[in-house]
Amino acid sequence: MWRVTTAIRVFALALATGIVLSDDRAGVSGPLLAALGVIAATGSALDWTTDLRRTGWTATAEMLLAALMLASADPSAGLYAYLAAPPVVAGLRQGLVTTVNVAFVGALGVLAAVGAATGSDPRPQLIDAGPWVLSGLGAGLLTSWQSRSLRHLDARRAPYEAAHHLMAQLHGLARRREVGLDTAQLAADLESHLRRATGATASGVWTGSVEEGLVLLSSYGDTTSLAAEVGRPPEARSPGVRVLPIQGTEGVLGFVALSGVLRWNEEIGDKAAEVTDNFALRIDTAVLFDELRWMATSEERNRLAREMHDGVAQEIVALGYVVDEIASISDDPEARALAEGLRDEISRVVGELRYSIYDLRHTVSDHRLSGALSEYVRELVATGTDLRVHLTFDESGAPLSARTETELLRIAQEAISNVRRHSRAENLWVTFVTDGVQFQLTIEDDGIGSAAPRDRHWGLQTMTERAAGIGAVLEVCNRDHGGTRVHLSTHHHATAAREGTSRP
């Protein structure tokens, strides 16, 4: 659309130039024609934007400046031809209302400039300017009616173009490492700065609200009772505890709580508030980016699951039918035995693919992690495994962050899958305990044990990386009474130590 509006201005200037050249006052009108060129170029430059509000004001200002300049300078009548351009531009980009407003502003500008002139007859200038203002109004109204579908399309595309522009900027900053997008890291950095500024010995950062529930992002030291302090009024809080709100773009994003503050004065309070405000926008952006990343990851997992189901799985099933056909027509007992063995292996691979597809699609939805784990284990039992499953869940306090719960579920899926495929166990124990701050996840079996990493198998390495990403420690060892024990737990300072801060 920018090319079209620029062409309209160029045409108006060319028309005005042609009329002026045929007039005997061409020399006098030259500077005014050059000034109109500057106004047109400025308007075209300001039109290079997706902000429709700005382009509306651009056409209005362009019309007013041109009208005041021409009507006050007594130019050649041909220069008034440019007054038809801004209403047409407004009609193309804004619609009927803006077109009328721009033409009305131009008429007022001409009247004001003519009225301010003394000792001259205003009628010739009004006669010269009037037809072009009316022509611009008519053409603008017609253009507005004809281009309404284009404006609606631009209006629908504008949010996506703005979002794309912002995401591109954010991506560039992240690639240049000028901004971090990890909420846990930013929360840990905020804690570290506040502890240095206030002398606190323990701290925690939560997002959300007291009414709807707080989600822990990061903690340092013993923060078991800090979450309860957030919801209390200042006068009811324990000695040495301070709570600072984190102001996001749409209100309070969350809270940071500090304990062990020996002294608190106005200077320390101002410094703590300044540190919190400096991190607030970064954390707000990181939380939003986490949500977008989670949505993209979930969509990609579902896409992979569909591709596996509709592609590889169906082809392997078809291969099984071929093997069945070979076994049915062969008279060689050895060939039939080989075909039956191959058929069993194909059935096993298809079963593994189905497990993998379910792993990809299974997520922590509205229920808490215990519900997702229970559902996953029920699906495991329903598919014909001989494992006896023992579940122990103890969840209290605020829910863990969505990222933490998702990573815990993926670790549990990998550990349970290893038990099902490799352990030859009869019993599986799954234990999950959390108080909303600390957590422990344990998966045990009574199988053959010796769960050591194997070449070209990345399960344990992936589990370790996921654990480190949420500030937890993963331990894989032999179970006391035989089998394997996978234990995942947080500890006081896990997040802070991961981010490079010192422990007290």
Provide the 3-class DSSP secondary structure of residue 434: strand
- Tell me the C-alpha distance between 20 and 14, whole Å: 10
**Predicted confidence (pLDDT) per residue in 408-431, tens digit:** 988 998 888 888 878 888 999 999
Mean pLDDT of the 79-104 span: 87
Q: What are the helix (H) ranges across 399-474?
A: 402-418, 459-469
Sheet holding 427-434, edge to edge: 388-395, 427-434, 439-445, 484-489, 473-478
User: Is 232's pLDDT higher than 90?
Assistant: no
- What values do phi and psi take at 73, rounded to 5? -110, -5
**pLDDT recorded at residue 488:** 92
Q: At what angle do helices 333-361 and 402-418 cross, to 10 degrees?
A: 160
The topology (CATH level 3) of 368-504 is Heat Shock Protein 90 (3.30.565)
Mean pLDDT of the 115-130 span: 77
Mean pLDDT of the 323-327 span: 84
- What values do phi and psi take at 486, rounded to 5? -110, 120
CATH superfamily of 183-289: GAF domain (3.30.450.40)
Q: For residue 281, how many C-alpha atoms fall within 13 Å in the half-sphere facing its CB?
A: 4
**pLDDT recorded at residue 446:** 92
Tell me 175's DSSP state. Answer: H
How far apart, in Å, are the Cα atoms of 476 and each of 50, 60, 459?
55, 71, 12
Enter the tokens of residue 328: 């049915």
Q: At what angle do helices 333-361 and 314-329 cross, to 10 degrees?
A: 160
pLDDT range class, residue 498, cuts 50, 70, 90: very low
Amino acid at site 442? T
3-class DSSP string for 193-218: HHHHHHCCCEEEEEEEECCCEEEEEE
DSSP-assigned letters across all residues of 252-294: EEEEEEEE------HHHHHHHHHHHHHHHHHHHHHHHHHHHHH
Mean pLDDT of the 142-156 span: 75
Q: Is the dihedral of CA 376, 381, 385, 388 positive or negative?
A: positive
**Predicted confidence (pLDDT) per residue in 250-297, tens digit:** 788 889 999 988 888 888 888 898 889 888 888 887 777 777 777 777
- Tell me the C-alpha distance between 122 and 110, whole Å: 10
Mean pLDDT of the 315-334 span: 84
Beta-strand relationship, 427-434 and 439-445: antiparallel
**Cβ within 8 Å of residue 62, ≥6 positions away:** 39, 40, 42, 43, 85, 86, 89
The backbone region for 395, taken as left when phi is positive above 0, alpha when psi lies in -120 to 50, beta otherwise, is beta
Tell which residue, 377, 387, 368, 384, has the closest CA to residue 426: 387
Amino acid at site 201? T
Q: For residue 22, how many C-alpha atoms fall within 13 Å in the half-sphere facing its CB?
A: 8
Give yes or no for a contact between 472 and 488, defined as CB atoms under 8 angstroms apart: yes
**pLDDT recorded at residue 445:** 92
Give yes or no for a contact between 16 and 36, defined as CB atoms under 8 angstroms apart: yes
Enter the tokens of residue 351: 């079963």
How far apart, in Å, are the Cα atoms of 74 and each of 14, 15, 70, 164, 401?
20, 18, 7, 49, 71
- What values do phi and psi take at 500, rounded to 5? 95, 10
How far apart, in Å, are the Cα atoms of 500 and each of 189, 196, 254?
9, 14, 24
Domain boundaries, the chain: 2-146, 183-289, 368-504
Q: Name the one residue in this structure whose structure tokens are 């010995």.
A: 201
- Tell me the C-alpha distance between 474 and 442, whole Å: 10
Provide the 3-class DSSP secondary structure of residue 219: strand
The answer to whether 183-289 and 368-504 have equal CATH topology is no
Enter the tokens of residue 414: 């990998």
**Cβ within 8 Å of residue 342, ≥6 positions away:** 323
More confident residue, 4 or 302: 4
**Cβ within 8 Å of residue 111, ≥6 positions away:** 126
**Predicted confidence (pLDDT) per residue in 421-477, tens digit:** 788 889 999 999 988 778 899 999 998 876 665 555 567 888 888 888 777 889 988
Give yes or no for a contact between 103 and 59, defined as CB atoms under 8 angstroms apart: no
User: Is 25's pLDDT higher than 50?
Assistant: yes
**Cβ within 8 Å of residue 343, ≥6 positions away:** 320, 323, 324, 327
Provide the 3-class DSSP secondary structure of residue 137: helix
- What values do phi and psi take at 492, rounded to 5? -55, 135
Q: What is the pTM of this model?
A: 0.51
Beta-strand relationship, 388-395 and 427-434: parallel
**Helix, strand, coil shares of the chain as percentages rounded to 5?**
65, 15, 25
